[in-house]
Amino acid sequence: MAHTVRNRTKLVNRLRRLRGQVESVERALNGDADCGQIMQLLAACRGAVNSLLAEVIKDHIREHLVARRPRASEPRATATDELIDVVHSYFK
């Protein structure tokens, strides 16, 4: 994933936020928080993981599944954007 080097800072920042969310789940469990609060925290973690995965998939589609040409054809670029939208909506 050498192409992710340019996005590394963004991805690492997402991971750090995710780590903070997981730590908040641990604190909630240790602090005897109610089930509703714990489920909400877990759902936030799941959303963060899905968002991170969607970002990596989006980069993968652009870098590996679509031909890298100086002038991408309009239909192919549109199809790429549509595929990214479908994958992104799956993770919401």
CATH of the domain at 73: 1.20.58.1000
Residue ranges making up the domain that contains 16: 2-90
* Entry pTM: 0.70
Distance CA 11, CA 59 (A): 11
Distance CA 77, CA 69 (A): 11
Indicate the number of domains in the chain. 1
Ordered per-residue pLDDT tens for the chain, 92 residues: 565 566 888 899 999 999 999 999 999 999 989 999 999 999 999 999 988 888 888 887 777 766 555 555 567 677 778 788 877 777 66
